[in-house]
């Protein structure tokens, strides 16, 4: 007999988790099953402060966007690695369909620490020119259609 699949957390449950998490203290809204959460973080004590926005619609994948500073400006015009979108920068934090994240998992235990870790690797990339954050990233054309299911090279 198969184990019962955990129930997805509601946007309200995710919102409550974010409100009570000191790691991502911030402000947000909750409206009709969609939450938006804005917060500031520093990946290390020597890092700059980043303003992030999480948007989560119940049962969908969360989006994390870097609101400030302008990462394209910081990158000196280089394409930023391991993102779904360059402007605004939409972070790639996990491989969809891999089971790393699902709607039954808390944003404060997954997406928030992953976003902070992504920023750590971004700062490292600014200095070294190499993405050391690992991960796989689907190849996507500008029109959003996948070219190839997974790019397994460690270039992202």
77-88 confidence digits (pLDDT tens):
999 999 999 989
User: Is residue 5 a part of any domain in this protein?
Assistant: no
User: How far apart (Å, rounded) are the C-alpha atoms in residues 139 and 149?
Assistant: 7
Q: Per-residue confidence at 52, pLDDT binned at 50, 70, 90? A: very high
User: Is residue 112 a part of any domain in this protein?
Assistant: yes
Average pLDDT (121-138) is 89
Say what the pLDDT of residue 70 is: 95
Say what the pLDDT of residue 5 is: 79
The answer on pLDDT for 147 being more than 60 is: no
Say what the pLDDT of residue 138 is: 56
User: Is residue 3 a part of any domain in this protein?
Assistant: no
Who's near 156: CB < 8 A, 6+ residues apart? 81, 82, 92, 131, 133, 135, 136, 137
Residue 102 domain boundaries: 11-151
What's the token pair of residue 34? Answer: 């969609």
Number of domains in the chain: 1
Q: Per-residue confidence at 139, pLDDT binned at 50, 70, 90? A: low
Is pLDDT larger for residue 148 or for residue 97? 97
The answer on pLDDT for 150 being more than 70 is: no
Q: Per-residue confidence at 135, pLDDT binned at 50, 70, 90? A: confident
Say what the pLDDT of residue 146 is: 43
User: Is residue 156 a part of any domain in this protein?
Assistant: no
User: Is residue 103 a part of any domain in this protein?
Assistant: yes
53-112 confidence digits (pLDDT tens):
999 998 899 999 999 999 999 999 999 999 999 989 999 999 888 889 999 999 999 999
Q: Cα dist. 127→11, 37, 41, 72 in Å?
A: 37, 29, 20, 15
Say what the pLDDT of residue 148 is: 40
7-45 confidence digits (pLDDT tens):
999 999 999 999 999 999 999 999 999 999 999 999 999
- DSSP-derived secondary structure for 63-100: EEEEEES-HHHHTTTPPPSSEEETTTTEE--S-TTSSS
User: Is residue 98 a part of any domain in this protein?
Assistant: yes
User: Is residue 131 a part of any domain in this protein?
Assistant: yes
């Amino acid at each position: 007999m198969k184990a019962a699949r955990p129930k997805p957390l509601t946007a309200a449950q995710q919102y409550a988790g974010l409100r009570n998490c000191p790691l991502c203290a911030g402000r947000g809204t909750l409206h009709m099953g969609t939450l938006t959460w804005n917060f500031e973080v520093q990946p290390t004590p020597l890092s700059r402060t980043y303003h992030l926005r999480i948007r989560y619609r119940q049962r969908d994948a969360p989006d994390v966007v870097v609101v400030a500073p302008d990462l394209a400006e910081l990158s000196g015009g280089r394409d930023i690695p391991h993102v779904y979108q360059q402007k605004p920068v939409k972070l790639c934090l996990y491989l969809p369909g891999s089971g790393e994240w699902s709607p039954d998992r808390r944003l404060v235990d997954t997406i928030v620490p992953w976003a902070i870790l992504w920023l750590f690797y971004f700062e490292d990339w600014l200095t070294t020119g190499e993405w050391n954050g690992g991960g796989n990233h689907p190849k996507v054309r500008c029109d959003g259609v996948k070219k190839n299911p997974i790019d397994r090279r460690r270039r992202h």
